[in-house]
Chain A
């Protein structure tokens, strides 16, 4: 899978003037099997970019290509994991995972075999018949990841998937995600506002922030830096200081920039 973004612009939906952009003239290329993190504060356009890649939102200008094919709508080849899980409460765990398989595997028995395999991969095989409401947050997100991966997408999109979890669960989930990714090698685009999370996970960090602009009401976000993390896995944070400094510099810039963006230590 190769994702190409050419000259992409997206206007703010409540735009008063035609100049009010969220993203403008963005060019980007993401290679097959790469783990990319979109890192930035709230309102920098990273979730909008993910929505465009997923196909929920249409660009105002420019185009997005997957394997040279234009993205026009959501597709099973680009599945998404949501922060709030979005598991279907009317289905049990295994039925949730098998949901998308209906479109890729015609035989029902085989569907459930495949679903079980992914459930095993996330370590929840004993919970296959559980109702969604009975699961903890971490378990729900494991099921959501299994559901998104089971259809074998080329591209897995993750929108702050661990943002609602406690620190301990979050660390476990990060390790598990890495090992699954190393196994299956889908391309992953992972949105986060945690610098540490991006450092632990990514091959490549795209640091996003609000564009330097004199107009305070501007919604325009842009990619400030494109940082490659060549450290081997599993990683520990204290070996990543070099990269961290690069990321922080891209985020904060000079002190004047900091005031302009209003971006604080929340990340």
Chain B
């Protein structure tokens, strides 16, 4: 009996061990998992499209979208639209960061500004960017200025709040160490306060970028000219679902690359360099 249970137990152990070691580490790799998921998704989409439940103009197949993408880059103006949108978002983002950093510093410096403007920023942040579109169109007309207005308005808030929090939560010792070592006013900002808030800044800049990107697309839907948002809207008015989906794909890919690849990498590096000391 004892023998039997030990053998059984042993067998059980071996099976579990085998399961663990056999389940290939490839499948556990999150990137492989993602690729498999994507392939499955595309497969189901292709299948549904081929069953012709919905007409082509409502649900094109992935291959049709790919066709449209290739055509768009080769024959139409997709590339110019992307470049134009990126130019616009970079300009708006740069303005937003400048406004954000200075307003964040001011809020952190003066209690009365924090109590008034600081508090309203949090409320302002809860307004979706698309809600500003009518206002922007009335003020600036159907123009790039309207889009920039929305982008700046959306993107400066996380930046300002991040700078404020960063400055307010700097360890007091950093400031005091800077002061006893001779730093004052501008020098104290440049040599102690700014470097000290860089980790917080990078996170806020990343958040600001995500806001800017969303605001850009929302704004571009309503104005004329060249841009990803405009192409998206054009696809709708031509009832060209392939173009609509192509644009959505482009938005997703660009958003992923800038946010998760570009900003995330910087964030990781900075945190690595800074956080060790904070512990």
Query: What are the interface flags for B179-191 relative to A under an 8 Å C-beta threshold, 1 for contact and 0 otherwise?
Result: 1111100000001
Q: Which of A82, A84, A132, A151 contacts B182 (CB 8 A)?
A: A151
- Fill in one digit per residue for B261-279: 1 if any A CB lies within 8 Å of its CB, else 0: 0000000000001111110
Cβ of B9 within 8 Å of any chain A Cβ, yes or no, is no
For residue A253, CB closer than 8 A to chain B, the reply is: no
| Secondary structure call for the B interface | helix
Q: Provide the bound-state CA to CA distance between A148 and B198, in Å.
A: 25
State how many angstroms separate the Cβ of B113 from the closest Cβ of chain A: 22
B180 touches A80 (CB 8 A): yes
Given B176, B182, B183, B274, which contacts A90 in the complex, CB threshold below 8 Å?
B274
B174:A86 contact, CB within 8 angstroms:
yes
Question: Which A residues lie within 8 Å of B274 (CB)?
Answer: 89-90
A33 an interface residue at 8 Å Cβ cutoff? no
Q: Pick from B173, B181, B276, B277 the residue with the most CB of A within 10 Å.
A: B181
Q: Does B141 contact A (CB under 8 A)?
A: no
Interface status of A36 (Cβ within 8 A of chain B)? no
B128 within 8 A of A: no
Pair A90/B180 contact, Cβ less than 8 Å: no
A12: chain B residues within 8 A (beta carbon): none
B-side interface size class: 20 to 34
Instruction: Say whether, besides A133-B276, A133-B277, A74 and B179 are in contact (CB < 8 Å).
Output: yes
* Contact of B277 with A132 in the complex, beta carbons under 8 Å: yes
Complex alpha-carbon distance, A44 and B273, angstroms: 38
In the bound complex, residues from chain A placing their C-beta under 8 Å from that of B171 are: 84, 86
Q: How far is the CA of A134 from the CA of B274 in the complex (A)?
A: 11
> At the interface, yes or no: B196 with Cβ under 8 Å from chain A?
yes
Write out the residue numbers on chain B whose beta carbons fall within 8 Å of the beta carbon of A181: none
CB-CB under 8 A from A134, the residues of chain B are 276
User: Could you tell me the distance in whole angstroms from the C-beta of A205 to the nearest C-beta in chain B?
Assistant: 24
Chain A residues near B181: list those with CB within 8 A.
76, 79, 99-100, 103, 147-148, 151
Using Cβ atoms and an 8 Å threshold, which residues of chain B touch A104?
182
Q: A76-B182, A79-B180, A103-B182 are in contact. Are A86 and B198 (CB under 8 A)?
A: no
Residue B192 is within 8 A (CB to CB) of chain A in the complex: yes
Contacts of A54 in B (CB 8 A): 176, 180
**CB neighbours of B176 from chain A (8 A):** 54, 56, 74, 80, 82, 86
Please classify the interface of chain A as helix (H, G, I), strand (E, B), loop, or mixed, using the class held by over half of its residues: loop
Indicate if A252 sits at the interface (CB-CB under 8 A): no
CA distance A213 to B44 in the complex (A): 81
- Is A100 a contact partner of B182 (Cβ separation < 8 A)? yes
Q: Is B177 an interface residue (CB 8 A)?
A: yes
A244 at the interface (CB under 8 A from B): no
Interchain nearest-CB distance for A85 vs B (Å): 8
Q: Verify if A6 is at the interface (C-beta below 8 Å from B).
A: no
**What chain A residues lie within 8 Å of B183 (beta carbons)?**
103
Contact with B along A107-136 (1 / 0, CB 8 A): 000000000000000000000000111100
Q: Does A78 contact B (CB under 8 A)?
A: yes
CB neighbors of B among A43-98 (8 A): 54-56, 73-76, 78-80, 82, 84, 86-91
- Which of B174, B179, B180, B274 has the most chain A CB within a 10 Å cutoff? B180
B43 part of interface (Cβ distance < 8 Å): no
Residues of B contacting A147 in the complex (Cβ-Cβ under 8 angstroms): 181
CA distance in complex: A147, B191 (Å): 15
A180-B276 Cα distance, complex, nearest whole Å = 29
Is B179 a contact of A87 with CB atoms below 8 Å? no
Which residues of B156-183 are within 8 A (CB) of A? 171, 173-174, 176-183
Asked if A102 lies at the interface with its beta carbon under 8 angstroms from chain B, I say yes
Shortest distance from the beta carbon of B187 to any chain A beta carbon, whole Å: 8
A residues contacting B by CB (< 8 A) are: 54-56, 73-76, 78-80, 82, 84, 86-91, 99-100, 102-104, 131-134, 147-148, 151, 157
A-B contact pairs, 15 of them (CB 8 A): A76-B180, A80-B180, A86-B176, A87-B277, A88-B174, A88-B195, A99-B191, A103-B181, A131-B273, A132-B277, A133-B275, A148-B180, A148-B181, A151-B182, A157-B180
